[in-house]
Structure 1
């Protein structure tokens, strides 16, 4: 039997951030796929439905370019299926979505969704309707209960709120992993090296991502299978009157090497201080030295 014809156990959702609630769905998909001798999959959309329905960008926890990679890495599923969400999909009847898309097109033999999942035109499809239609079609269905921490439902919306407040430690608890910015190292103005004696690497912040407060963070940078701690600035570098375009600049500690053109992952672990404009390079250098000390102390714990 060819791979695309195998029965699939499909977990539904947008999976922004791949938090603990998402992982519960994917774990069930992996379990059901094993039972039916099929393939575990996530079925998601290429753009956030609210951005089409409401006409405004939804700030994302995971950048578009890396969502497939993050879903597979953290969820352990065999496949990630992206469906284009446009006006036609927006107006599709929820029953058609189940039968024509999930079952006929993608060979769903088992479907997994969350209790509050809404789908189809005007969100009229829900868990009860899904259960009824799956039974009619003779396939399996699981409705997975919400995952809660501290009495709070784990959700991308709540995690975005934590990120916007700079509470990276609580965000990491709800995600099950640190909030991470991924990108390719670019050439900057080299102010860190030439003026401050503090070499940094420069990344452009993906425009669609949920931005934490501008400031300095204790971070961990992953590159080429290695991990390095770093004091990282996010913002517009007001002391040197940069262009105003926000960037993320890790200063890797105890590292010497050229990372230009390399893809790196920057995990934000703790907010250290807000970004501010200093009166001189000397004042900024002293603040960076303190941030380096704080970063070392944080990871030493």
Structure 2
């Protein structure tokens, strides 16, 4: 898969295009992408997603509170695995938002992306003030020689319902429901940074994960069962999202992972953490020894989950 961030007209082949943020690339999105990839192969074209970053709401509404299910890199990896040929990431700006509908079609879809077919939602709106709709797109298709295939109301509803349910589930810490709707394990990707070393002092050394993308949705605070691929090996462990209230007197959230059966320095490494299950809420204990005893119980709970997980 090629990732294209500067639009040009040097595409190797004509394309089938769909447009959207595809945040989460969940099971509803996957159904549409499978349709896109199949159509492209059938017609000897290249499957292409045109997406926008930053999210339009971040630009037009200055909505810095919006949280996304994927970083750009996470999204790209999922789309590549689904067989997509081109991921076109158009920088979204206020100037771009004012482009006329026909200019968007002629300059971007036709001239630059060489679209011969556009697969789009029945309720899709585009162009300045989002005034153009799928009927307008069909008219443009007749003029510029590309086909328009409509994504039904049912399929669009499945997409929006799934996205809402995933976000709601994650904010409650309901990883199982979120993963069911995603069709894969929710992931956190970041770099391991140095911490205070408190975990090591009580027998539970942790890797502290720093996620630079502040728009990434972090699930509810608590203790989770996780797994990660490190140096081509799968390691399981438990992860705490929270403020460590037993040993900290501030409200700074951290993400700390205690890997089982891994004795190696991970500082500076970029890790993708798959979240499998939530064990409990974060708690404040009366003493460090109480915390230590609970962590031992958490580890046994996690190991039992992993044993069952590995046999399914």
TM-score, normalised to structure 2, is: 0.87
**In 1: Cα distance, 2:199 partner to 2:205 partner:** 5
Q: CA deviation at 1:208?
A: 1.0
Corresponding residue to 1:203 among 182, 206, 209:
209
Corresponding residue to 2:105 among 92, 98, 115:
98
Residues 53 and 152 of structure 1: CA distance in aligned 2, closer, same or farther (over 3 Å):
closer
**Aligned counterpart, 1:62:** 70
**Aligned counterpart, 1:238:** 245
In structure 2, list runs of 5 or more residues that go unmatched. 1-8
**Aligned counterpart, 2:295:** 288
**Aligned counterpart, 2:5:** none
Residues 147 and 258 of structure 1: CA distance in aligned 2, closer, same or farther (over 3 Å):
farther
Kindly report which structure 2 residues correspond to 1:122-141, keeping only aligned pairs within 5 A, or say none: 122-141=129-148
**In 2: Cα distance, 1:272 partner to 1:143 partner:** 43
Q: CA deviation at 1:179?
A: 1.1
**Aligned counterpart, 1:191:** 198
> In terms of mean alpha carbon deviation, does 130-139 or 225-234 score higher?
130-139
Q: Would you say the 8 A contact 1:186–1:261 is kept in 2?
A: yes
Q: CA deviation at 1:176?
A: 0.8
Per the alignment, in what secondary structure is the counterpart of residue 26 of structure 1? helix
Residues 278 and 221 of structure 1: CA distance in aligned 2, closer, same or farther (over 3 Å):
same
Residues 288 and 78 of structure 1: CA distance in aligned 2, closer, same or farther (over 3 Å):
same
**Aligned counterpart, 1:33:** 40
**In 1: Cα distance, 2:276 partner to 2:24 partner:** 15
**In 2: Cα distance, 1:13 partner to 1:148 partner:** 12
Per the alignment, in what secondary structure is the counterpart of residue 193 of structure 2? coil
Query: Does residue 1:45 correspond to 2:52, yes or no?
Result: yes
Residues 161 and 296 of structure 1: CA distance in aligned 2, closer, same or farther (over 3 Å):
same
Q: Would you say the 8 A contact 2:228–2:273 is kept in 1?
A: yes
In structure 1, list runs of 5 or more residues that go unmatched. none
**In 2: Cα distance, 1:243 partner to 1:70 partner:** 36
**In 1: Cα distance, 2:70 partner to 2:159 partner:** 21
Deviations 1:171-208 (A, max 9, x none): 111111111000111111111112x1111111024421
**In 1: Cα distance, 2:215 partner to 2:166 partner:** 16
**How many residues are matched?**
297
Q: CA deviation at 1:222?
A: 2.4
**In 1: Cα distance, 2:20 partner to 2:100 partner:** 17
Kindly report which structure 2 residues correspond to 1:80-229, keeping only aligned pairs within 5 A, or say none: 80-145=87-152, 146-147=154-155, 154-194=161-201, 196-205=202-211, 206-229=213-236
**In 2: Cα distance, 1:88 partner to 1:47 partner:** 13
Q: CA deviation at 1:148?
A: 8.6
**In 2: Cα distance, 1:54 partner to 1:79 partner:** 29
Q: CA deviation at 1:216?
A: 0.5
